[in-house]
Amino acid sequence: MNTKLRCLLLDDELPSLTYLKMLCEQIPELEVIRAFNSATLFLKEIPGLEFDLCILDIEMPDFNGLQVARALKGKPVIFTTGYKEYAAEAFDLDAIDYVRKPIKLERLQLAVQKAVLRIERRSEPKNYIQLNTDKGKTLLVYDQIGFIRTSETDSRDKVAYLLDDTTVVLKNIPLGRLLDLLPLGQFCQINKKELIAISAVRFFSHDAITTNIVQSDGKYVVLFLSDTYRKGFIQLIRV
């Protein structure tokens, strides 16, 4: 990757923190932004810091590293610890790596390489989302979605109508959550039970949207546009 990972360090023991910082400064992929020896101060200042990765100890007196990692809300973390009993819980938090103390430079470099690969993968534009269905997990490709409708048999489930005339039952997911996962500006909720891909819109009127999806009878699928969602839909169409 072209730029260094901006890294935060956290270890309550100053000698360990100093040693960790010294090791990190020898790794070309890292730029140490801040080093903390207090989890309380770390959590207080974290909202104002921009960083890509956190390397932190687990065993600390005020908050342990596992609690801190949960507060980071998905930011990549590498744990360092002298205790092996935390390994399972660390990986439950989707930690990049778990490095045992005393830390060796080569082992830390390996962990950082894992971080580089994961962050690069995250930065690559995706054209799909992974969702649970009635038949297992699926990769739902954005440009294959026509519209999504609340299931008539179970309102917790949603049915995705695809452009190839197939459907996929999405298990136990709200429409609002789907909108959060789908690309911004490419999908819009149009009534309480349906959302549509903007690319699937053929015509629209005050209260109806004609899609470019053809039914078995040869007619285009028409969806209801409600008052509540009309303004948002019109704004997206005009962009």
Q: Which structural domain, as residue segments, surrounds residue 57?
A: 5-123
Tell whether 84 and 43 lie within a shared domain: yes
Per-residue pLDDT, 215 = 85
Tell whether 199 and 170 lie within a shared domain: yes
Tell whether 119 and 176 lie within a shared domain: no
Name the domain boundary from 123, 138, 158: 123
Tell whether 24 and 84 lie within a shared domain: yes
Sign of CA dihedral 174, 180, 182, 188: positive
Sign of CA dihedral 110, 114, 117, 120: negative
- Dihedral angle, C-alpha 199, 200, 205, 206, nearest 10 °: -80
Name the domain boundary from 123, 144, 160: 123
Which among 126, 200, 208 has a CA at the least distance from the CA of 163?
200
**Number of domains observed in the structure of the chain:** 2
Predicted TM-score of the model (pTM): 0.53
Per-residue pLDDT, 89 = 63
Tell whether 65 and 132 lie within a shared domain: no
Q: Who's near 138: CB < 8 A, 6+ residues apart?
A: 130, 131, 132, 168
Say how far apart CA 139 and CA 117 lie, in whole Å.
Answer: 21
Name the domain boundary from 75, 96, 123: 123
Q: Is 94 left (phi over 0), alpha (psi -120 to 50) or beta?
A: left
pLDDT band at 90 (very low <50, low <70, confident <90, very high): low
81 vs 91 pLDDT, higher one: 81
Contact call for residues 144 and 131 (beta carbons, < 8 A): no
Contact call for residues 197 and 209 (beta carbons, < 8 A): no
The two three-digit tokens of residue 83, written as one number = 């205790």
Look up the CATH number of the domain holding residue 175: 2.40.50.1020
- Taking only the tens place, the pLDDT of each residue in 132-187 is 999 999 999 999 999 999 999 999 999 999 998 899 999 999 998 899 889 888 99
